[in-house]
Amino acid sequence: MLDTGYQCDHVIARKRKGRRSVKIFHEIKAGRAAVIDARAKGGVGLVPTMGALHEGHRSLIRASRDRCESTAVTIFVNPTQFGPGEDFDDYPRALNTDLAVCEEEGVDIVFAPSVETMYPQGGRTTVHVSELTDGLCGTSRPGHFDGVTTVVAKLCNILPADLAFFGEKDYQQLVIVRRMARDLDMAIRIVGCPIVRERDGLALSSRNQYLTADGRRRATSLSRSLFAARNRIESGVRDAASILEGVREGLRAGGVDDIGYIDVVDSETLASLHHLVDRARICVAARIESCRLIDNVGVDASKDAK
């Protein structure tokens, strides 16, 4: 018999009477037992994050709370998805603030393991999804998605939830994780959630806090040029090269000169498109100051022009 008795590391009592408490786990066995226990009472939603929680993460938590009886959030800055020279050491870590956010949002379980807990012997197994990982962010971040799929597979094994919620903000990651879950017959269902943006269009990201005021202003050109491209597609433009050139000009005019990529891809296969006929995603990555930002918008070229 599985021992589902568990000891959680702390409990944040909810202020409002009658509500459950957030239970925080740092160890695998106890975290797993808590999710198994919660599943006996109803569906469990999983929200994997690297912490520094913002409105984007909150939206995933709310999506989970809408659909599931209990919600488990993971907070783990996963070293294996950072390349050499990337910002693993500097990545914002704010566990106490994150726990307060989880408490406010009605999260039931937080799993916040250490690197040693997740990779006690370093780890010799990698989950690799082919092809979908080659383009877009995969081109300049070799191994990044292997780190992501491996840690997501581990988290889904540790916390056997019913649904897992991922943001479209990391659109390529969402498509890859969905494919992994399907290819490996994982029992969990992957749910994609829309991008949450600031009023001026900037997609929320834990990395935005690295930006100076000037960088922050220039960063809005990512969403502005993507929205302009979407408008052009809605008014009938179908030639990908022309769309991409428009985005490039928009970024340059907005003061972004270090462009990682601009691509229009099929929304499922992520294959680059020359001519748009169906659902597609326009994706960009750019560096502003020390900060690598990504953004994307969905378009449906099968609809008639407005």
- Return the active site residues: 57
Nearest to 117 by CA among 52, 32, 206: 32
Q: Is 254 in the site for ligand AMP (CB under 6 A)?
A: no
Q: Is 50 in the site for ligand AMP (CB under 6 A)?
A: yes
Q: Is 211 in the site for ligand AMP (CB under 6 A)?
A: no
Token pair belonging to 287: 């560096």
Mark the segment that binds ligand AMP (CB under 6 A) among 109-117, 119-127, 164-172, 237-245: 164-172
How many residues bind to ligand AMP according to rule CB under 6 A?
Answer: 17
Q: Is 195 in the site for ligand AMP (CB under 6 A)?
A: yes
Q: Is 153 in the site for ligand AMP (CB under 6 A)?
A: no
Length of the chain, in residues: 306
Q: Is 73 in the site for ligand AMP (CB under 6 A)?
A: no
Q: Is 205 in the site for ligand AMP (CB under 6 A)?
A: yes
**226/247 Cα distance (integer angstroms):** 6
Mark the segment that binds ligand AMP (CB under 6 A) among 19-27, 66-74, 197-205, 223-231: 197-205
Identify which of residues 56 and 113 has a Cβ nearer to ligand AMP in the complex.
56
Mark the segment that binds ligand AMP (CB under 6 A) among 178-186, 193-201, 242-250, 272-280: 193-201
Q: Is 56 in the site for ligand AMP (CB under 6 A)?
A: yes
Q: Is 225 in the site for ligand AMP (CB under 6 A)?
A: no
Mark the segment that binds ligand AMP (CB under 6 A) among 109-117, 202-210, 240-248, 297-305: 202-210
Nearest to 85 by CA among 292, 294, 293, 295: 292
Chain residues in the site for ligand AMP (CB under 6 A): 49-50, 56-57, 59-60, 166-167, 169-170, 193, 195-196, 203-206
